[in-house]
Amino acid sequence: MMDFIRPYLPVASWREPKPVVAVLPLSGVIGGMGSFKRGLSLQALAPRIERAFKIKHLAAVALAVNSPGGSPVQSALIAKRIRDLAAEHEIPVHAFIEDVGASGGYWLACAADRIHAQSSSIVGSIGVVSGGFGFTEMIAKLGIDRRLHTSGDKKAMLDPFGPEKAADVKHLKALQAEIHDDFKDMVRERRGTKLQSDEKTLFSGAFWTGRAALELGLIDGLGDLRSVMRDIHGEDVRFRMLDERRPWWRKRFGMDADLGSEFSSGLIASIEERMAWNRFGL
């Protein structure tokens, strides 16, 4: 009678696989910022978001948010794509606000099931802002003759080289109110009964530290990404960083190929980005 021979199995075949957390960085101004410093957009982020939810043994997706805001449209599109995939794959999403998660940055954080921040992080700014300059007196002093021809009496609305008109400002504020309502609806939907203050305070456009945001119910806890994820999924959890995949020549030289034609737009984009961060003292 032959003895039963147990087949050899590699150790890894019967061990339970380690859980994986996909880390998706959402850092920078939201929206187009020129080719030198491209802002966050759905077009740029979609491949990484898709990859994040297809990783094997995925336990959670962690959003590393560090953004002063930007385009409300791109904020909504990115957040919706994350929510759609989270529901499709039944994967929890956590957001971790670093230096700042304000305005559109907080909109992105609201795509998560739970939001975390540091005690000194900047959180909130649930509002809409538009800014610009008026050059009417300057061009008059310089003796410059402004020539502008339009078809449609509202086509040159809010022209910085012309006097500001009350009707134009009223129209702009109406647009801002609509966008603000969309932002408020997103926060109400995602935070719900967690909110611990009146809407007049929360939706005023003010921003707070992470510690104060926790008391207001804008976030769920204080902590960093690795510590919180290890507390939830164990010390053996693995982290998979979803960085932008760039051509080798960009990695080597840190720039785009067509330097001459893009220099001015890149410079303006850098100034605009710097101004966005400066609103929060960063």
Q: What is the pLDDT of residues 183-193, one digit of tens each?
A: 999 999 999 99
The SS3 call for residue 176 is helix
Which pLDDT belongs to residue 176? 85
Q: Identify which has the larger pLDDT, 213 or 179.
A: 213
Which stretch of 51-55, 121-125, 253-257, 269-273 has the lowest confidence by average pLDDT? 253-257
Task: In whole angstroms, give the CA distance from residue 242 to residue 46.
Answer: 11
Axis crossing angle, helix 166-191 with helix 72-89, rounded to the nearest 10: 20
The reply to whether 27 belongs to the active site is no
Task: In whole angstroms, give the CA distance from residue 199 to residue 203.
Answer: 6
Calculate what percentage of the chain has a pLDDT beyond 70: 76
The reply to whether 103 belongs to the active site is yes
Which stretch of 3-12, 41-50, 199-208 has the lowest confidence by average pLDDT? 3-12
- Choose, from 67, 75, 103, 121, the residue flagged as catalytic: 103
pLDDT in tens, 84-106: 999 999 999 999 999 999 999 99
pLDDT for 252 beyond 60: no
Contact between 24 and 63 under an 8 Å Cβ cutoff? The reply is yes
Residue 163: band (very low, low, confident or very high) from pLDDT cuts 50, 70, 90: confident
**Residue among 232, 251, 235 nearest 243 (CA):** 251
pLDDT for 21 beyond 80: yes
Note the pTM of the prediction, 2 decimals.
0.79
Contact between 115 and 220 under an 8 Å Cβ cutoff? The reply is yes
Q: What share of the chain is helix, strand, coil (3-state, %, to 5)?
A: 45, 15, 40
Residue 115: band (very low, low, confident or very high) from pLDDT cuts 50, 70, 90: very high
Contact between 64 and 96 under an 8 Å Cβ cutoff? The reply is yes
Which pLDDT belongs to residue 99? 96
Which pLDDT belongs to residue 65? 97
* CA angle 222–26–268, rounded 5-degree value: 125
Q: Residue 102 — φ and ψ, nearest 5°?
A: -125, 150
- Choose, from 80, 154, 155, 165, the residue flagged as catalytic: 155
**Please, what sign has the CA dihedral across residues 53, 54, 60, 62?**
negative
The fold for domain 18-126+186-278 equals 2-enoyl-CoA Hydratase; Chain A, domain 1 (3.90.226)
